[in-house]
Structure 1
């Protein structure tokens, strides 16, 4: 399973490949890069956000009709890159920060340092100015590096993980499978505690250690995340929530079956979830902006949790 760095390498090669093969067939390109067509389409959805300027201009105009891939502005972005002072500064600062990231593979670190040295030479005086700036990563960056290294070296990890649904920290050993981003950054792995596939949000990993135990997850089909991280099944329990105007964001954040307008400008939202109890925290967050209508037992539990929360504040 490709990790984030492998995907970046593939996408850089993909640019060169497509430039030399206008109208290339999706099936041929996927076969050449050893990925599924769905993975290739995912790369093609990212490439139009890339280009030769940090300011948003000169982006890659690449699209596909599902059968062939077309790059419409090859000549426009093929000119030699000329970095402005702020662009060169941003690149140098970011490169130095990443080079110091804990857990980065030594080969990647050395390659990055070589590229940084070349950029410093080309940037001239700008390089000196950029040396006065620095960036430090929070814990999530360190977790990303450790998971990425574990995937590359096929090693198991031990984590202390916060579960908001249970409001508890758990310790578990996990065989990491892949890193991905859907709003937040996650890693997917085979959890030895639950003996099942689990997804972990990086900013909820309180502590992580690489183990000497080899990673040996069972062969599992990767999930298609194009429709989002949470994809409820048709037989999941139905929950109905009514929100006021201040709670309309729920329909943007949660996948739902229906969202009907209410006279006060709010919504009556019907959604499905394999764990209705996890929505109790949503009810507390909404406060006066919303309430759970059904199922009745979930509404009662949410109401009891609100009473206990208010009691803790002496209200």
Structure 2
């Protein structure tokens, strides 16, 4: 049986990789290749029986890896690295340029070096794909600090500007991951001040300091990425709601994020669960009451109880 396409691509790249890194440890090679040492060992065992037509011992790729280090004796002509196709190079260049336009998404100098190497590898005819030069290669030190904290799993102390409140607050956060959306980069983190997961836009972080403690968000906070659309202000709370099919149109008119697919549901008559960011309990109470029971609160028992009290008081006025 032929290896899967993804494995075949990896096998083709392995021989020149190991030929250029003679004596590299299996563990290090596995990390570089993004696979486990066990999978790497299986790949090496397969490469060991591959080679030139004839299939005699002298025709096969010669690999030594029993002692935990990989050494290539005979490459069977596979010692030249694979070259990018024009389509692959163009795709990578466009993606790198898009990342450069997002504040804080990548190390700008590193991205430009990667662009230059790709252009050099495919020839000058592809240079035009990476349009122009926007000047400053210097990476914002605050952005670099945030990325480093995410990479190393350290807590952060930040000063953050909230546009909707026009105020700056100091917070201690536990980084979870980075997100990019609409040409902005966000830090998703557990905010100890708000006691919840929040998204912090990079260009609104005035300063960031890596703390001498690990990032330790609650386990359930890391399961599902938060939506950058709904969290421009990290101080705003959110609630889980249940929406009847007859009023699903509100998904197009309010800042609501479905927690499950609204379309192609197994039971079209079943309600849809979603997350709603709101400004105040009073606004949320009025919002839910306005739909006459077709939108229900699931996560906040206190506000749900308040909705019931206000509805009962309104009915009492008609007696």
Scaled to the shorter chain, the TM-score interval is 0.3 to 0.5
Greater gyration radius: 2
Q: Give the structure-2-normalised TM-score.
A: 0.43
